[in-house]
């Protein structure tokens, strides 16, 4: 395939997200379409709810109710397969062709999580490798892996300034 797979969003009837996703996964397997329809996701988050009598329970909640995310190579065949899944009302985008998500949208929506290996810890000297502070050297103050954030103290204009960066924007300073 010359085209690479992109993330598309499909609208479903309310409460049909899991049914649409599982039916689509079975169809892909039965028709051997794994190379063109690569992934099906329903982004969720874990939420702690306090119920009756102070009972605490963790619940998985859909981030985008009524939508299913599909990573696929867009062709007439894949469009037809997805469009004809029971409970699916259509692709998000114009009526004729679906619009794929941009790389930024995929990351912001939490559809595809890219893992970053953190080779530094609090107190380490690091070099900023991208962004407006590129090539600055600073000291790691705080690391929040779950939020993909590292706070680094950088000396600018003779003053200590704390910069909040993505984990991938920083690398350990070699001795």
Q: What's 6-108's CATH class? A: alpha beta
Domain 125-172 fold: SH3 type barrels. (2.30.30)
Buried-state track 141-155, b at ≥16 Cβ within 10 A, e below 16? eebeeeebebbbebe
* Mean pLDDT value across the chain: 87
What are the residue ranges of CATH 2.30.30.30 in the chain? Answer: 125-172
Return the SS3 of 147. Answer: helix
Alpha-carbon distance of 60 to 5, in angstroms, equals 28
- Is-above-0.75 flag for pTM? no
> Counting Cβ atoms within 10 Å, is residue 109 exposed (0-12), middle (13-18) or buried (19+)?
middle
Q: Using one digit for the tens of pLDDT, what is the confidence trace for 72-92? A: 999 989 999 999 999 999 998
- Give just the sign of the alpha carbon dihedral 96, 102, 107, 109: negative
């Amino acid at each position: 395939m010359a085209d690479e797979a992109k993330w598309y969003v499909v609208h479903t009837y309310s409460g049909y997200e899991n049914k649409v996703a599982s039916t689509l996964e079975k169809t892909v397997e039965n028709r051997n379409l794994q190379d063109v329809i690569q992934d099906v996701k329903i982004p969720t988050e874990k939420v702690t709810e306090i119920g009756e009598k102070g009972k605490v329970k963790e619940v998985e909640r859909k981030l985008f109710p009524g939508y299913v995310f599909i990573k696929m190579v867009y062709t007439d065949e894949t469009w037809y397969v997805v469009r004809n899944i029971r409970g699916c009302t259509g692709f998000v985008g114009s009526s004729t062709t679906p619009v794929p998500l941009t790389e930024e949208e995929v990351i912001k929506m939490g559809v595809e999580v890219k893992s970053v290996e953190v080779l530094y810890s609090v107190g380490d000297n690091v070099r900023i490798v991208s962004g407006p502070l590129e090539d600055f050297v600073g000291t790691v103050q705080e690391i929040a892996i779950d939020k993909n954030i590292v706070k680094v103290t950088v000396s600018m204009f003779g003053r200590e300034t704390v910069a909040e960066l993505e984990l991938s924007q920083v690398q350990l300073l070699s001795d």
